[in-house]
Amino acid sequence: MNFNGATNKVVLERYLKLQQPKDKVQCMYVWIDGSGEHLRAKSRTVDFVPKTPKELPIWNFDGSSTGQADGCNSDVYLYPVALYRDPFRLGDNKLVLCETYKYNKKPTETNHRMACNELMERVKDQKPWFGIEQEYTLLDQDQHPFGWPKNGFPGPQGPYYCGVGANRVYGRDIVEAHYRTCLYSGVNISGTNAEVMPAQWEFQVGPCEGIEMGDDLWMARFLIHRVAEEFGVVVSMDPKPMQGDWNGAGAHTNFSTLKMREENGLTEIEKAIDKLSRHHIRHIKAYDPNEGKDNERRLTGLHETSSIHDFSAGVANRGCSIRIPRGCAEERKGYLEDRRPSSNCDPYQVTGVMVKTCCLDE
């Protein structure tokens, strides 16, 4: 271990073995900061084992240090909304996903969960399912892709996707550790794979119904940042970390309703695609935290993407905005894949606008 700020984890083990009193439970509150993209966390002790987020106290933090408030009126509230087992502290300890509210009890600008939750409540009879494919890139602390030569580039793309071997993939330890932390904590992770650009990886979360999609994806992101931190590696959710002939990173969003999953659901899928075709710009604005600015660098029409300016749909076509998986077209039911969301998207915004367009016709 020779990265900046590295400490000896064997020494840490001694202290983590100290007996923890039964009536002292550590809760790490996790929230989305003012960037709408990055996560923050802080811990407190409670004297009971929480079973639901509602039992936990509302807390606060200094919003002037997270881009969420002015210094003269800096307290921002944390409302616990989802509980996960803590894979680092183990035992009864918890990770607590929170929503942020301003001094006047209104949601902060980057709290998109509140509105998403209201939308999901309105459409719950349609049983909306989502599965998000989170792509991300591992970087050294100097922001250079992890494992890449310091003066130059790896060989061109081709051998890396789902690759195996030390000359094909970089950072598998992190991927494996993250997968287990998700399973342990209760995040509905469904798989992982190495991506087309070396040092780029993907994990899938889902299918999740309603608000759980956003909750589990944000917690999965917290876990990948936290796990990589222990390895001295940085995780980037930037949609185009390397310019040139290197794939960008997205968050393909797979979506279905109960009707789409039933016999002849394909007609329902086609109806949804027609509705999506009429709201392309609204969706692009919701698919990254900067109203399309980030995704502009990625959705070029090259590297398995569609142009940010056009809407398109097709069976098994990875150059389209929307892809109907081959298997779904054959079975005439299933789900659609929206390939436009950026890797740094807010899944509450993405899933919210999806049900607004497809389920509510708004």
Nearer to ligand ADP, 218 or 335 (CB): 335
Number of residues that bind Mn ion (CB under 5 A): 3
CB of 110 within 8 A of CB of 33?
A: yes
**Considering the complex, what minimum distance in angstroms separates the CB of residue 313 from ligand ADP?**
15
Give the whole-angstrom CA distance, residue 162 versus residue 116: 34
Which of 221, 240, 252, 333 is in the footprint of Mn ion by CB under 5 A?
252
Please list the alpha-helical segments (H only) found in the chain.
9-16, 113-122, 172-185, 212-230, 258-261, 266-277, 280-286, 293-296, 326-331, 347-358
Give Cα separations from 8 to 2, 88, 172, 173, 231 (angstroms): 10, 16, 21, 18, 11
- With CB under 5 to 8 Å by kind, the binding choice for 321 among ligand ADP, Mn ion, none is none
Q: Which helix (H) or strand (E) holds 85?
A: strand 75-85
Nearer to ligand ADP, 56 or 196 (CB): 196
Identify which of 173, 191, 166 has the alpha carbon closest to the alpha carbon of residue 228: 173
Residue of minimal Cβ distance to ligand ADP: 131
- With CB under 5 to 8 Å by kind, the binding choice for 334 among ligand ADP, Mn ion, none is ligand ADP
**Considering the complex, what minimum distance in angstroms separates the CB of residue 16 from ligand ADP?**
33
**Considering the complex, what minimum distance in angstroms separates the CB of residue 34 from Mn ion?**
19
**Rounded to an integer, what is the distance from CA 148 to the centroid of its chain?**
25
Nearer to ligand ADP, 25 or 217 (CB): 217
**234 pairs with which residues across the strands?**
139
**Binding segment toward Mn ion, per CB under 5 A, in 78-86, 133-141, 291-299, 304-312:** 133-141
Give the whole-angstrom CA distance, residue 215 versus residue 130: 12
**Considering the complex, what minimum distance in angstroms separates the CB of residue 329 from ligand ADP?**
13
Give the whole-angstrom CA distance, residue 154 versus residue 175: 20
Give yes or no for residue 133 binding Mn ion (CB under 5 A): yes
Identify which of 351, 8, 35, 335 has the alpha carbon closest to the alpha carbon of residue 211: 351
Give the whole-angstrom CA distance, residue 3 versus residue 154: 22
**Considering the complex, what minimum distance in angstroms separates the CB of residue 186 from ligand ADP?**
16
**Considering the complex, what minimum distance in angstroms separates the CB of residue 343 from ligand ADP?**
13
The 198-217 site mask, x for binding Mn ion (CB under 5 A), equals: ----x---------------
Give Cα separations from 229 to 38, 148, 199 (angstroms): 14, 19, 16
- With CB under 5 to 8 Å by kind, the binding choice for 357 among ligand ADP, Mn ion, none is none
**Considering the complex, what minimum distance in angstroms separates the CB of residue 260 from ligand ADP?**
7
Binding site for ligand ADP (CB under 6 A): 129-131, 133, 190, 204, 206-207, 252, 254-256, 261, 334-335, 337
- With CB under 5 to 8 Å by kind, the binding choice for 255 among ligand ADP, Mn ion, none is ligand ADP
Give the whole-angstrom CA distance, residue 266 versus residue 327: 11
> Positive or negative CA dihedral for 309, 314, 318, 322?
positive
Q: Which two tokens stand for residue 310?
A: 């056009």
**Considering the complex, what minimum distance in angstroms separates the CB of residue 26 from Mn ion?**
18
Give yes or no for residue 294 binding Mn ion (CB under 5 A): no
The 146-185 site mask, x for binding Mn ion (CB under 5 A), equals: ----------------------------------------
SS3 58: coil
- With CB under 5 to 8 Å by kind, the binding choice for 257 among Mn ion, ligand ADP, none is none
Residue of minimal Cβ distance to Mn ion: 252
Give the whole-angstrom CA distance, residue 30 versus residue 41: 4
* Residues at the interface with Mn ion (CB under 5 A): 133, 202, 252
